[in-house]
Amino acid sequence: MRLKSFHVERFRNILDSDEIDVDPTITCLVGKNESGKTNLLQSLHCVRPAPTERKFDQQQYPRWLQKDHQRSGEFAGAHPISVTFELQDDDMQAVEQKFGTGVLTSRTVVKQILYSNQFHWSLDFDEEAACKYFESKHGTTTGAVKVAGLKTELATQAGKTTPGPDGTQVLTPEANKAKTALDALNALYGEAPALVAFRFLEARFPTFFYFDDYSQLEGRTPIAPLIEALKTKTESSLTEPQRTALSLLKLGFATEDLVNADYEKRSGEMEAVAADLSRQVQKYWHQNDHLRLRIDIEAVEQQQPDGQHVVDRYLQLRVEDTRHFFTNNLDVRSSGFRWFVSFLAAFKEFSAGQSVAVLLDEPALALHARAQRDFLDFIEDTLGADHQVIYTTHSPFMVDPAHLERVRVVEDMGPDEGSKVKAQLMSRDPDTLSPLQGALGYDIAQNIFVGPDNLVVEGLSDYTYLVIMSEVLRAAGRAFLDLRWRVLPAGGAGTMPAAVSLLGQALDVTVVADGGSHPPQKLNALVAEGVLEVKRIIMLGPIVGMSTADIEDLFDPEDYLTLYNAATSSNLALSDLDGNDRILGRIERNVGKFNHNDPANWLLANRDTATRSLRQTTLDRFEKVIQAINTTLA
């Protein structure tokens, strides 16, 4: 079963998050500190928490509204989390095997949890199909279309008798069949039929594994509380570091064998666990390839006040540095290394074939930038391959620029609106988007000197439009950007000459510039200095057939208005605009200034659906520009 979306309401600083679509594999929640990212994950964790319990309490209700809403009655009906799951084929098969073919008329199931930790649910269950399936399976023919009616009819049939050989009344064969069927029906539907089906599906919900900085392992942990919690099933009483330590022990044997006097037995088991973790660490931890984990049980003799001696045992986690030939306690290693080892230890317990949704709160924040990229690879290759992952971040190195469609932007809009979550890569606060801009900038910087062929455009919207439309044209079998190009946004028309001058000293550069037939003066100056060839300046005006044009004018005006309206929640029509000049100028004469990146960001987040209805004019113009660009390759 897959988490399709979730909705958080009236939980801490979140009044109404809006419905948050979840990617089938990895979802990245980006926002500033205190924007509400942690609150989103912790609310979601309450759906089916692992490894310990997490429940709602009224102290989590928005404080500035709590008393008013208690008086008005809104508090009692508030559901801080609502989740929508999508059934997969194996879920549908399991339901049909138990309740019958066609009993579910939708593949979605919804659960809402209240502050009382009771819940509401929604499921499209066809009782008539369930009755038909049940009767065909048990050989009865009442024709009932509701389970309650079927029970009544079967009870009536089960009472039918006929005179026996001795003249007494005995149950007919049909009555015996009806009685057997009624017993089976009561056993199957002890509650309302749809609720029974919901409970069956609820047991198939993924568990939600939550991990944050407070869950890190300690280098030395007393074992006795861990064993006691395991024996008494009170693991929720442990601290978060203790629970992670217990998860580590479960990889070996978390029983009294841990304190076994047979040193070889317990040592061999812990060595096997350490070796397993070390292999995982080495695969994704590239900061130091010479580190090996060592796990042991330390026995410490203590004298009690009554003079008796007892032996306390501790889980010792040490790290061997094979390059410098020494070991030390995990506590004195870097916080990034401790975090990574702790996460692996905690998650290992849930990784073997279980349905788990992984919730990571600011993962790898203590790691170096390169190590954060390594952990991003770990999320992609290992976690996301088998589980849905939802993680929060404000680090540009934890955002994959190749998958910005997975990003959801979290922004606290103040006490009147609370935190909001948007799939569109837009924000009132530019600082909210800085991780995304940083991720793009890092990706660009990594690629500048990969090859000699650099295509410089004015800004991020130019970059977005060209790259996406090249992919669209390529899929249609038309001309697309040659794969040798490295597309580099210069940051604006004003900074473009500086960027070209920097690159043009040693690399081949082609420039795509807004305007008319003649290049801007500063670009002409670079031509005069021999930094840039005039034939490698692509001006957009002549291609569109306008005296001056922007990248947006490559779109058919109707197509660009579609992007603009979707990005800004507007409803402009072409008839509302006057003139035949640049589309940006025509819109701004009508509505005023707006952020030109917003339509490009919306297209980036919705490219799969938004590009399907583009007009032929749009495709032809972009293809013409791309053909002109490709002809300038050396």
Q: In terms of pTM, does the model score above 0.85? A: no
Rg (CA), the chain: 32
Arithmetic mean of pLDDT over the chain? 86
CA distance 181 to 245: 51
Locate 62 and state its tokens.
């928005």
Average pLDDT of the segment spanning 84-96: 96
Tell me how far apart the alpha carbons of residues 115 and 58 are, in angstroms, rounded to a whole number: 6
In sequence order, what are the residues at sequence separation of 6 or more whose Cβ sits closer than 8 angstroms to the Cβ of residue 14? 8, 36, 39, 40, 43, 62, 418, 419
Round to whole Å and give the CA distance between 563 and 424.
12
Q: What is the DSSP string of 159-212?
A: T-EEE-TTS-EEE-HHHHHHHHHHHHHHHH-SS-HHHHHHHHHHTTSPEEEEE-
CB atoms within 10 A of CB 298: 12
317 backbone dihedrals φ, ψ, rounded to 5°: -115, 115
Residues 6+ apart with CB under 8 A from 484: 451, 453, 633
Beta-bridge partner residues of 515: 549
Q: Fill in the DSSP letter of residue 32.
A: -
SS3 label, residue 274: helix
Largest CA distance in the chain: 121
φ, ψ for residue 298 (rounded to 5)?
-95, 130
Lowest mean pLDDT among 165-174, 192-201, 260-269, 473-482: 260-269
pLDDT of residue 121: 95
Helix (H, G, I), strand (E, B) or coil at 68: helix
As given in the structure block, the two tokens for residue 110 are 């919804």
The pLDDT of 551-580, averaged and rounded, is 94
**481-521 tens-digit pLDDT:** 998 888 888 766 565 666 666 555 556 788 898 888 788 88
Q: Give the E-state strand segments of 304-384 in sequence order.
A: 309-321, 326-329, 356-360
Give the number of other Cβ atoms within 10 Å of residue 413's Cβ: 16
pLDDT (0 to 100) of residue 252 = 60
Cα atoms in the Cβ-side hemisphere of radius 13 Å centred on 346: 29
Task: Flag whether pLDDT at 554 surpasses 70.
Answer: yes
- In degrees and rounded to multiples of 5, residue 96 shows phi and psi of -65, -35
Identify the bridge partners of residue 300 per DSSP, sorted by sequence position: 312
Exposed, middle or buried: residue 452 (CB in 10 Å: 0-12, 13-18, 19+)? middle
Q: Which residue has the tokens 């709160």?
A: 361
Q: List pLDDT tens digits, range 275-322.
A: 877 887 777 777 777 888 888 777 787 777 877 877 788 888 888 888
What's the one-letter identity of residue 408? R
Q: Indicate if the pLDDT at residue 352 is higher than 60.
A: no
For residue 513, the 8-state DSSP code is E
Domain-wise residue ranges, the chain: 125-189, 215-351, 448-630
- CA gap 211, 237 in Å, rounded: 17
| Share of the chain residues as helix, strand and coil, in percent rounded to the nearest 5 | 45, 20, 30
Structure confidence by residue, pLDDT tens digits, 198-222: 999 999 999 999 988 878 888 888 8
Asked if residues 30 and 432 have their Cβ atoms less than 8 Å apart, the reply is yes
pLDDT over 70, % of the chain: 90
Determine the Cα angle at 545 with ends 543 and 548, to 5°.
90
CB 291 within 8 A of CB 319: yes
Mean pLDDT of 474-478: 94
| pLDDT at 44 > cutoff 90 | yes
Burial of 68 (0-12, 13-18, 19+ CB in 10 A): exposed
